[in-house]
Structure 1
Amino acid sequence: MTQHQQNELSCAGCGVRIQTESKELPGFVPVSALEKEPLICQRCFRIKHYNEAASVAVDQDDFLRLLSGIGNTKALVVHIVDIFDFEGSLISGLQRFVGNNPVLLVVNKIDLLPKSLNMNRVRNWVQRQAKQEGLRTVDVVLCSAKRNIGFERVIEEIERYREGRDVYVVGATNVGKSTLINRLIHDYSDLEQELTTSRYPGTTLDAIHIPLDDGKAIIDTPGIVYSSRLTEIVPRSFLGTLLPDKPIKPLVYQLNAGQTLFMGSIARFDFVEGERQSFTLYVANGLNIHRTKLERADQLYEEHKGGLLGGPAKEQLEEIPAWTRHSLRVKQGSYSDIYISGLGWIQVNSDSGALIDVYAPKGVKVIQRPSMI
């Protein structure tokens, strides 16, 4: 088969153009399967034969064009976010695109939070933060698709707000969207029907329609890639260290001004000014944390990045953008998180106030927010 013939092939399940280069992009088929009839992409194959959807990803511009079609339909929009990377996985501007359609916010991976947490407090925090980001939601559901916590509630709320309409599922990469889609397929779908496709105006992207028993569909949209998340720019081999897979064990440090914490070799936290106080780190348990004096921090990093400090190997670090400094002042008597997208957050328990510098790769989102916990 020539390259030209291959370029003309489309998936019989969803209609996307077939490609053999990248498993992460829509339309992937192994070269060995190109002669099969009917020819379907790997994502459709997994849905049809294993009741299992695989995640595919698109960049932000393509995704926003894709979203523009939702406002012209009557549907329920299920927006899945990651509680561990809340601001990094929230789709900013979603409200502009969905029109008057209701948005159900499904907050996944709550199994990663310490078990002692009051979930009502977390839910209230999520509602406030979503509202501040301009997102109007009909409800917020906390769940863990992986651990099967709260999933019945997700199903109940989808039924409550769907009202016989299609369901669009949207989310960033690595938020657990595929796991949740797979549960919906298992609970909802009659896969004897054919998968169908919809092509969005102004884009070549296709979304898979997974048929429901009432003639409507779950529309699985590709995951959006946000380069402002650390998880998108570190080597894939390091993701297992960065992404927690079990409840986070908070790490409490009593610091004096002029002390530094290195989080692996990928971020740095400087306590510049303030009285001695405690800082609590909520990061993956396997991430190496190293404390030193601020005056020694630059030299220590140059000598030990990728080694003693942990994190990606030194040669891999050269592929990551150089650090940018973020200066943040925590007001006296406030309870704040210093949040680094894709890494976690540092809770500042400040009665006296603090001046903090955070160093992270250029483009990674670093913000101060009201304390989650």
Structure 2
Amino acid sequence: MTKEEFTEDVYCIGCGAEIQTEDPDERGYTPVAALQKGMESGQLLCQRCFRLRHYNQMEKVSVTDDEFLAMLNTISSEDALVVNVIDLFDVYGSLIPGLHRFAGNNPVLVVGNKVDVLPKSVKMSRVRQWLTEQVQAVGLRPVDVVLVSGKKATSIDQLLETIEKYRKGRDVYVVGVTNVGKSTVMNQIIKAATGNNEDVITTSQFPGTTLDQIRIPLDDGHFIIDTPGIIHHHQMAHVLSEKELRLVAPQSEIKPITYQLNPEQTLFLGGASRFDFISGEKSSFTCYFANDMKIHRTKLEKADEFYKKHLGGLLQPPSAEDVENFPPLVRHEFNVKVPMDIVFSGLGWITVRKPGKVAAWVPKGVDAVMRKPII
């Protein structure tokens, strides 16, 4: 028995997504065996909602730009607190364009996730101030900024207290782009709020919508509403495979590496990106990337030849089998006058301390930007 054998569309009673049995990575996926049982019992859940219901496990789901914009427009007409989860390792790739307009008069609480990957020597007060400045630069005026680790459950209790402080008896909408760890944060919120008691969260407490929202019940009858992640098309995640992403996405505290470079030297960040020191005084450049990222130094004049020869081999990612489909690197030049970070969106950054001219090469479609140093 498959979904196609029914004359009417069938939907998940947890989130409202249309049930499908073909693609585990798409919304509404349900294994055929689960579909049969669900139809017989009248309790048809997609795999995502089933895992939430029985294991308090929240999985990420994404929507198209149009769907997400429609959802944001809905939020602006609500009286609610908006919680925006941002990846501290990829702030630029985490920002939702125009969120301040879509939030309307609703307050926005910014949550910086993955604080566990930053070096322990970093002062959290500085990071919090830095993140505040970054979101203010794009027009967001958050009522507060909280730094957490969804993976380590760091400061989740503080996050819940802050949410309670600002929601003032209203619903809470949690928004974020894909790959920022929003589902991991939501899992920790559920665990903290329910004591990991699966009987607290029941199917009936998750009314569905066509946008695949999940509603986490609060004691006063309101909800924390988990929304689908919007796809940010400038993220590195869109040019690397899932296996390669695990290699370049930090899984633990970053161990910075500092290189002493002369002008006309190049650093290759695997084969995914490249950094050129074009001109300036000999200086130190500190690299903040996943600990498994292999960095190779060569002369600028030999860089093109080196890349062509070793891409997919010495320079990975991409892997040899993915080289053919890997986008060409695009050059972005920067004139640095004061200490700045050169950011390779979704990959990491290099801190430039002295004035000089540098260039960042990133896959076509991925962003490279210059910002005030985070560390």
TM-score, normalised via structure 2 length:
0.94
In 2, are the aligned partners of 1:114 and 1:249 still within 8 Å (CA)? yes
The partner residue of 2:256 within 250, 256, 259 is 250
In 2, are the aligned partners of 1:7 and 1:19 still within 8 Å (CA)? no
Write the distance in 2 (CA, Å) between the matches of 1:44 and 1:309: 40
Against the structure 1 CA distance between its residues 272 and 6, is the aligned structure 2 distance closer, same or farther, given a 3 Å change threshold? farther
Q: Which residue of structure 2 lines up, in the alignment, with residue 33 of structure 1? A: 34
Write the distance in 2 (CA, Å) between the matches of 1:291 and 1:89: 30
The partner residue of 2:311 within 305, 308, 312 is 305
- Runs of 4 or more consecutive aligned structure 1 residues displaced over 6 Å after TM superposition: none
Q: CA deviation at 1:198?
A: 5.3
For 1:230-273, what per-residue CA distance to the aligned partner results, in whole angstroms no more than 9, with x for missing partners? 02320111111111011101110111111000000110111111
Point out the more displaced range, 11-20 or 134-143: 11-20
Q: CA deviation at 1:4?
A: 5.9
Q: Which residue of structure 2 lines up, in the alignment, with residue 264 of structure 1? A: 270
In 2, are the aligned partners of 1:244 and 1:283 still within 8 Å (CA)? yes
Write the distance in 2 (CA, Å) between the matches of 1:6 and 1:106: 44
Q: Which residue of structure 1 lines up, in the alignment, with residue 201 of structure 2? A: 191
Point out the more displaced range, 118-127 or 19-28: 19-28
In 2, are the aligned partners of 1:231 and 1:242 still within 8 Å (CA)? no
Paired residue secondary structure (1:318)? helix
The unaligned stretches of length 5 or more in structure 1 are none
What amino acid maps onto 1:282 in structure 2?
Y
Write the distance in 1 (CA, Å) between the matches of 2:71 and 2:208: 10
Pair 1:347-2:340 in alignment: no
Pair 1:105-2:110 in alignment: yes
TM-score, normalised via structure 1 length:
0.94
Against the structure 1 CA distance between its residues 7 and 208, is the aligned structure 2 distance closer, same or farther, given a 3 Å change threshold? farther
What amino acid maps onto 2:22 in structure 1?
E
What amino acid maps onto 1:8 in structure 2?
D
The unaligned stretches of length 5 or more in structure 2 are 195-199
The partner residue of 1:372 within 365, 371, 374 is 374
User: RMSD of aligned C-alpha atoms?
Assistant: 1.5
For 1:116-169, what per-residue CA distance to the aligned partner results, in whole angstroms no more than 9, with x for missing partners? 111111111111111001111000001112112111110110010011111111
Pair 1:20-2:26 in alignment: no
Write the distance in 2 (CA, Å) between the matches of 1:12 and 1:193: 7
Q: CA deviation at 1:176?
A: 1.4
Q: CA deviation at 1:42?
A: 1.1
In 2, are the aligned partners of 1:13 and 1:40 still within 8 Å (CA)? yes
Indicate the percent of aligned positions where both proteins have the same amino acid.
Answer: 50
Write the distance in 1 (CA, Å) between the matches of 2:99 and 2:8: 33
What amino acid maps onto 1:46 in structure 2?
R
Q: Which residue of structure 1 lines up, in the alignment, with residue 197 of structure 2? A: none
Q: Which residue of structure 2 lines up, in the alignment, with residue 166 of structure 1? A: 171
Q: CA deviation at 1:92?
A: 1.9
Write the distance in 1 (CA, Å) between the matches of 2:76 and 2:294: 45
Q: Which residue of structure 1 lines up, in the alignment, with residue 229 of structure 2? A: 223
